[in-house]
Amino acid sequence: MRLDVVSIFPAYLEPLRLSLVGKGIEAGIIELRVHDLRDWTSDRHRTVDDTPYGGGPGMVMKPEPWGAALDDIRSSDPGKRPALVIPTPSGSVFTQRTAESWSSDTWLIFACGRYEGIDARVAAHYGERPDWSGVREVSIGDFVLAGGEAAVLVMVEALARLQPGILGNEESALDDSFSGEQMGDLVEGPVFTKPPVWRDRAVPEVLLSGHHGRIAQWRQEQARARTAANRPDLGEVT
């Protein structure tokens, strides 16, 4: 899977070279290219923003650097059609279902907005380009970020761990909270490791019992209790 990220803060994306995503890059499963939008400006001040038409607070990202950057990056592989991903608080919510659906895409180009966002003609234009595979405006949740970079870190990690060969343990991707049908729509319960007693707290005895049926039942009860307490929105727990 090829991933390109365009940002005015390319250093923000450096953490993607670490840990699980970094392993995927080193293994050749993920090809990550990060670009500085200012490389596609032509004025002395490398300007990427301007005042909003119609008035209002803040600044808006100019369309020309975006058009030049996206056309250039797209032309680096005429053999496949990329989708343009634009993180924005007004987009649809990116969920585990979204990650699953995107995980088999061959090429995603992420456009990180700053200020009040990107001139809307950029999304409109690439949405009509036959050599692109559509525009996806997404938000990672109901809070406001200062720009799209942190959202891209989140989305790329969610996509990377779904790539075949990245997790190592193919089971753990399926077992996690939200991952799918495994436990119904429940979050995971508590986990424990050695030592068996720590600061007077013992590991629940059922987990030491070796009785796999009782352990599975206990874990499901714990998951239900946690879901009811922390995530009542996930639907009635029976």
List, by residue number, the catalytic residues. Answer: 89, 116, 161, 176
* Residue 182 DSSP symbol: B
Whole-angstrom Cα distance, residue 152 to residue 15? 11
Work out whether 136 is an interface residue with ligand JBZ (CB under 6 A).
no
Size, binding site for ligand JBZ by CB under 6 A: 16
Work out whether 117 is an interface residue with ligand JBZ (CB under 6 A).
yes
Of 88 and 96, which CB lies nearer to ligand JBZ in the complex structure? 88
Of 141 and 190, which CB lies nearer to ligand JBZ in the complex structure? 141
Of 67 and 184, which CB lies nearer to ligand JBZ in the complex structure? 67
Q: Select the span of 2-10, 18-26, 69-77, 84-92 touching ligand JBZ (CB under 6 A).
A: 84-92
Phi–psi pair at 191, nearest 5 degrees: -125, 155
Whole-angstrom Cα distance, residue 148 to residue 9? 10
Token pair in block for residue 100: 């699953």
Considering the complex, what minimum distance in angstroms separates the CB of residue 225 from ligand JBZ?
30
| Enclosing H/E stretch for 172 | helix 170-175
Site string for ligand JBZ, 140-159 (x = CB under 6 A): xx-xxx-xx--x--------
Work out whether 10 is an interface residue with ligand JBZ (CB under 6 A).
no
Of 40 and 94, which CB lies nearer to ligand JBZ in the complex structure? 94
Report yes or no: 67 and 123 within 8 Å, Cβ to Cβ. Answer: no
Residue 32 bridge partners (DSSP): 3
Work out whether 82 is an interface residue with ligand JBZ (CB under 6 A).
no
CA dist list (Å): 102 to 31, 91, 108:
15, 16, 9
